[in-house]
A and B are shown apart, each in its own frame.
Chain A
Amino acid sequence: MHEIVSDKSWELLENCPIQNEYDIVKARQIVRQYAKEAGMGIVDQTRITTAVSELFRNMYMYAGGGEVIIEKGLVQERNALIITCIDKGPGIENIDLVMTDGYTSGQGMGYGLPGSKRLVDIFEIYSKLNVGTTVRITKWR
């Protein structure tokens, strides 16, 4: 697990706060719009929108909200949409455990993190107890 840093060459598209349930809906609609503009097909648009919806809800439920950064740029020499979710919540004690299919802390269904990982090309997670969690997903066009 390494700290997640932005590539300087990426272009910032949007910065959205997640503070309530409406923000989740709004932010996932914004992500879909950028996916569409990036030329992704309907299935990839749906994949990335669903993946971020899971992540945004996690931020809202477990960390009381957070911040979403939407960027585009080259990743492994391919055009990509990069979405980074940053929260200042309690942090995750055991990342391997939350990345296990079917694991849930009780409120969810256990599909959140491993499910959204399957829907994207790159999935990165960094968490520090009592500091917060950052999750970044990358989807190539």
Chain B
Amino acid sequence: MIFNEKRIPIIKIRDYLIVSIQVDMHDRLAIQLQSQILEEIHRTGAKGVLIDISTLEMVDSFIGRVLSGMASMAAIMDAAVVIVGMQPAVAITLVELGLEMPGVDTALNMEYGMEMLEKRLNKD
């Protein structure tokens, strides 16, 4: 398959990084995205990261762990992560799987996610 070693683009808008995951990620790609985002936080000083997973058809324990790990790591770097757009079937499956994602903030869509980050930044 051709998704081999393709990078997931990270876009910076004002204080935020925006990432839209649109491929079925293999494990190494997920790990790569994790470090890519942390590097971008470091490089740009972004205060928030919005990760859109609305096209992800499944989140298994590995991807779940990568996402929650990313949120904890970003928090240490003083950036907040919001996961947006999770499909209902994915949410159902995650709960049945028994996976909890402590410390991960979620929002229904990009717009609400952005509002969430803005509120948080204004509080500081």
A residues within 8 A CB of B35? Answer: none
What secondary structure prevails in chain A residues at the interface with B? helix
A53: Cβ under 8 A from any B Cβ: yes
Do A114 and B90 form a contact, CB below 8 Å, given A22-B26, A49-B57?
Answer: no
0 or 1 for each of B65-106: is its CB under 8 Å from A? (1 = yes) = 100000000000000000000011110110011110000000
B13: Cβ under 8 A from any A Cβ: no
Chain B residues within 8 Å of chain A by Cβ, number: 26
- By size class, the interface of chain A is 20 to 34
In angstroms, Cα B20 to Cα A2, docked, is 45
In the complex, the answer to whether B90 meets A46 with C-beta atoms within 8 Å is: yes
Nearest A residue to B99 by beta-carbon distance?
Answer: A111
In angstroms, Cα B57 to Cα A45, docked, is 9
In angstroms, Cα B57 to Cα A28, docked, is 11
Q: B residues within 8 Å of A by Cβ?
A: 1, 3-4, 24-28, 57-62, 64-65, 87-90, 92-93, 96-99
